[in-house]
């Protein structure tokens, strides 16, 4: 009369997982996640081989994946983001078949349209009832939204919920309903709370970052978009958060009531909601404890699925109505193409996540980045890897000036009229190189180690092998 | 930048609806619904013909459907319930192809598994934003849950939301997300509030009904199921509501904390939630204003989709965990088969709704019915139409005694031990006939006017033509 299974290994056996199939994972437990490693260990011990792993993101904590690749358990990886440790392994040619990078919108899209079917989805759920109604909002490993996991659970042939807090039926604030769940496994712990969410996310104290944040808000004001109904997304980086804080001050001072904040949600966005800058928050992933508490208690702070966030084949998604997004970059080139997949040496250390989805959807897509980082210029002739096409980027904000994409003439004129220091992006490149020198181009091998699949399904770039240092 | 279309007719044209396709409707506006008639009128005016109409229920207010059948706009009807006026028309042979009756669980199941695909779903939404995030909880035509419409919107090729209250994006408490919506049409009114929900639902004052309600609660107590964690569904009929009221008194007195109330929800179930008899309500349809207000404001009162309510092909649904359901009957036979589709004359005046879904899922499925109604015995040798198979019914409660299905020996013994007057169902039949006489069997024609499709997809009965009086 319930779906409880005694162990992960038992659940894998019951799922009918066989050689060559696809398993999926989501990343709301971030670098604190235990579930992916526990499941892959069980699968490896069962001798199942040649799997495709479709994970919404992979963090350093998932380093055992290297062994599973080496021993043949894992044959292919599909993901939207991969942090440095696994990234270096892949870049050094650790895998035979190229990693497929998608976006946070493209991934649920391809799961739903059947291009990347999932055989068994494993859901890390901070609270579940015995029938699989589950949520991330409660429990000792609470992570808030389970947005990216919702399409996996709905579309997988078989879905296993793994939880460390079993509650009586029915868990009423489910993110994923029992209708999508085959088995529930209770384990001691699904993650390390310290790694799941930061206690608090902090704005930068770096003066360059603060200066860029102020300029970013000036650009938003000058764009004409900052008025009642305004909608906004920003990242969790220090300068992006500082921009949110300055923006809040402006909105409160000018009594502007925005419509919604979107995205990965931080405490700064929660403050904006609570202080009346937004009517609501649409949350696909929580970045800190304040966001988790807010999504648990405030009905105006609502979880959205990855589909609702950004799928390009949904009948619409939240990014389609977005006014402004502030995004980061490891490189941006003079055509405004942005790289967030590799470092300047060409090694994988990131991924698009929602970068290119929000850039495509937002009326104003802004990159905020210092001219150089670790003595390497950020602005370059050609990015090492195209993550987000320049055609979807409107403006670059640096500490030395702002560059507007030539396609945005009206925006250019608005910024100039507002007294913002607007420069040609080639001037910014020259300035960066005058400070940091012209960097050597990475030396790539011939072999392709990853494909970058844009949200419309086209492969917009390949990432090639780079020898280890 | 939004999905607003100026008129229903325009929306039908944009949808690509053509001859022979399928349109769908839901019935949360009940006998107050204007939307089905407005849409069918527009379709008829456009000269589109031979449509299949898949409506979760049809009420007397939908009587213009008779004209659409006669003029060839409508060729087939799929529904879970049909009230008397349209029922008599169908029973009299008004349609060439048989109506397909499904259950509230079987309908979403067959929509999802592709047996009954929908080309264009029309969603009557009491509030929507311009991108189609919509809800039934708010607006001048508020109806509460939109549970039955959720699978339609998700699975239809094209979905049109029709609303009389447009709110700014994003409507945050959506039942149906924008991801599933192609067009939004604003109209003056989607329904007559007086017909949408009763102001209040009232328990019976009839002494026979009250007596049966008390006996029903005695049976529940004796069954052993009434303990902490208890879950319960009951209908909106007077005696069923009276049973809910008596049950509440018992639960409060004995300090029993149930888990959930399910179903079509009335104010009586809301009282049980608010007074602590249940932890939560799972609501696929609201029957009265108190239920609408509760689902709008109380997070423990949550909307569920038709799939989550009762789909037999979901990985589980709420009916699977149900302890007790109280159901009605127009007839029950000595094998405990129940008819809720036709009157004793064999004319269509109802349908399964969630009857057979909850009977199949609940541990204790109870029929509550007077021995005779309008001088016709309720207990009979063979029901005129099998709506719910006797194998899923556990007990019949009448004002003269209680009959237990022979398959439930333990239940029988528990009731006897509790001092409940248990009789053989054949004794009850004899008693009914001694009071009301043996009724004449309906005189059917040869022609089949409707098929009764059980929740597992099998046709369990046919309904044949009956001449008009």
What pLDDT sits at residue A374? 84
CA angle B125, B128, B132 (to 5 degrees): 100
Q: Which one of A11, A14, A177, A261 makes the best mutation probe of the B interface by having the most chain B beta carbons within 10 Å? A: A177
Cross-chain Cβ contact A159/B229 below 8 Å: no
Instruction: Write out chain A residues lying below 8 Å of B314, CB-based.
Output: 178-180
Q: Are the C-beta atoms of residues A149 and A26 closer than 8 Å to each other?
A: yes
What pLDDT sits at residue A157? 98
The pLDDT tens digits of the residues spanning B28-41 come to 999 999 999 999 99
Which stretches does DSSP call E strand in B21-166? 22-25, 51-55, 74-79, 99-101, 120-125, 127-128, 134-135, 158-163
Is the ipTM, as predicted for this complex, more than 0.90?
yes
Assign A374 to helix, strand or coil. coil
The pLDDT tens digits of the residues spanning B115-154 come to 999 999 999 999 999 999 999 999 999 999 999 999 999 9
Residue B53 phi/psi, 5-degree rounding, is: -105, 120
pTM of this structure: 0.97
Q: At A237, which helix (H) or strand (E)?
A: none
Of A131, A260, A315, which is closest to B182 when you measure between CB atoms?
A315
A298 touches chain B (CB under 8 A): no
A175 touches chain B (CB under 8 A): no
> How many inter-chain contacts (A to B, CB under 8 Å) are there?
106
What pLDDT sits at residue A111? 98
Residue of B nearest to A167 (CA): B259
Cross-chain Cβ contact A170/B318 below 8 Å: yes
Strand A120-125, strand A158-163: pairing: parallel
* Cα–Cα distance measured from residue A418 to residue A415, given in angstroms and rounded to the nearest whole number: 5
Q: Which one of B112, B263, B316 makes the best mutation probe of the A interface by having the most chain A beta carbons within 10 Å? A: B316
Q: Are the C-beta atoms of residues A305 and A283 closer than 8 Å to each other?
A: no
Residue of B nearest to A311 (CA): B179
Of B159, B179, B259, which is closest to A307 when you measure between CB atoms?
B179
* A335 class by beta-carbon count within 10 Å (0-12 exposed, 13-18 middle, 19+ buried): middle
* Cα–Cα distance measured from residue A62 to residue A58, given in angstroms and rounded to the nearest whole number: 6
Those residues of chain B that have pLDDT short of 50 are none
Cross-chain Cβ contact A315/B179 below 8 Å: yes
What pLDDT sits at residue A468? 66
Instruction: Write out chain A residues lying below 8 Å of B282, CB-based.
Output: 170, 172
Cross-chain Cβ contact B173/A299 below 8 Å: yes
Of B179, B300, B321, which is closest to A169 when you measure between CB atoms?
B321
Which residues between 199 and 258 in chain A have a beta carbon less than 8 angstroms from any beta carbon of chain B? Answer: 229
Q: Are the C-beta atoms of residues A219 and A366 closer than 8 Å to each other?
A: yes
Residue of B nearest to A178 (CA): B316
DSSP string, B288-350: BHHHHHHHHH-TTEEE--HHHHH-TTSS--GGGG--EEEE--SEEETT--EE-SB-TTS-B--
B113 touches chain A (CB under 8 A): no
* Cα–Cα distance measured from residue B30 to residue B62, given in angstroms and rounded to the nearest whole number: 10
Residue of A nearest to B109 (CA): A179
Those residues of chain A that have pLDDT short of 70 are 199-200, 468-469
What pLDDT sits at residue A200? 64
Of A172, A229, A282, which is closest to B300 when you measure between CB atoms?
A172
Assign B409 to helix, strand or coil. helix
Q: How many helices (H) and strands (E) does chain A have?
A: 15, 25
What pLDDT sits at residue B85? 95
Residues 6+ apart with CB under 8 A from A392: A356, A359, A360, A365
B135 touches chain A (CB under 8 A): no
Instruction: Write out chain A residues lying below 8 Å of B229, CB-based.
Output: 168
Residue of A nearest to B108 (CA): A179
Q: Are the C-beta atoms of residues A280 and A265 closer than 8 Å to each other?
A: no
A5 touches chain B (CB under 8 A): no
Q: Which of B318, B297, B320, B298 is nearest to B308 (CA)?
A: B318
Residues 6+ apart with CB under 8 A from A76: A51, A52, A53, A97, A99, A100
What pLDDT sits at residue A199? 63
* Cα–Cα distance measured from residue A147 to residue A302, given in angstroms and rounded to the nearest whole number: 10
Of B3, B170, B305, which is closest to A259 when you measure between CB atoms?
B170
B138 touches chain A (CB under 8 A): no
């Amino acid at each position: 009369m319930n779906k409880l299974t005694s162990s992960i290994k038992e659940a894998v056996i019951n799922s009918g997982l066989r050689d060559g199939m696809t398993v999926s994972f989501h990343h709301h437990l971030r670098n604190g996640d235990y579930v992916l490693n526990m499941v892959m260990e069980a699968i490896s011990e069962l001798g199942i081989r040649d799997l495709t792993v479709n994970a919404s993101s992979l963090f350093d904590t998932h380093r055992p994946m290297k062994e599973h690749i080496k021993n043949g358990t894992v044959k292919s990886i599909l993901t939207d983001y991969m942090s440095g440790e696994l990234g270096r392994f892949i870049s050094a040619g650790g895998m035979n078949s190229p990693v497929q990078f998608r976006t946070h919108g493209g991934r649920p899209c391809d799961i739903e349209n059947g291009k990347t079917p999932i055989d068994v989805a494993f859901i890390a759920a901070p609270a579940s009832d015995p029938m699989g109604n589950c949520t991330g909002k409660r429990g000792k490993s609470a992570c808030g939204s389970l947005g990216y996991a919702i399409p996996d659970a709905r579309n997988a042939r078989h879905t296993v919920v793994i939880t460390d807090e079993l509650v009586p039926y029915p868990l009423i604030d489910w993110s994923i309903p029992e209708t999508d769940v085959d088995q529930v496994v209770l384990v001691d712990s699904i993650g390390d709370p310290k790694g799941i969410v930061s206690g608090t996310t902090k704005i930068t104290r770096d003066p360059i970052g603060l200066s860029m944040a102020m300029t970013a808000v000036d650009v938003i004001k000058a764009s004409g978009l900052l008025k009642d109904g305004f909608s906004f997304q920003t990242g969790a980086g220090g300068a992006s958060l500082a921009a949110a804080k300055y923006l809040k001050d402006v909105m409160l001072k000018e009594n502007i009531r925005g419509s919604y904040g979107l995205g990965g949600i931080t405490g700064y966005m929660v403050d904006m909601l609570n202080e009346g800058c937004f009517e609501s928050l649409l949350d696909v992933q929580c970045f800190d404890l304040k966001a988790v508490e807010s999504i648990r208690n405030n009905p105006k702070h609502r979880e959205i699925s990855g589909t609702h966030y950004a799928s390009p084949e949904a009948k619409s998604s939240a990014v389609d109505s977005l006014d402004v997004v502030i995004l980061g970059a490891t490189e941006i080139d003079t055509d405004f193409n942005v790289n967030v997949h590799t470092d300047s040496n060409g090694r994988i250390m990131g991924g698009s996540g929602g970068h290119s989805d929000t850039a495509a959807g937002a009326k104003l897509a802004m990159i905020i980045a210092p001219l150089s980082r670790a003595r390497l210029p950020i602005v370059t002739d050609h990015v090492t890897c195209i993550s987000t096409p320049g055609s979807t980027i409107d403006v670059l904000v640096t500490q030395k000036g702002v560059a507007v994409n030539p396609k945005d003439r009206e925006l250019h004129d608005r910024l100039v009229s507002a007294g913002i220091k607007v420069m040609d992006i080639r001037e910014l490149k020259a300035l960066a190189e005058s400070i940091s020198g012209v960097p050597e181009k990475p030396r790539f091998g011939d072999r392709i180690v990853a494909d970058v699949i844009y949200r419309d399904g086209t492969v917009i770039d390949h990432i090639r092998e780079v020898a280890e240092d």
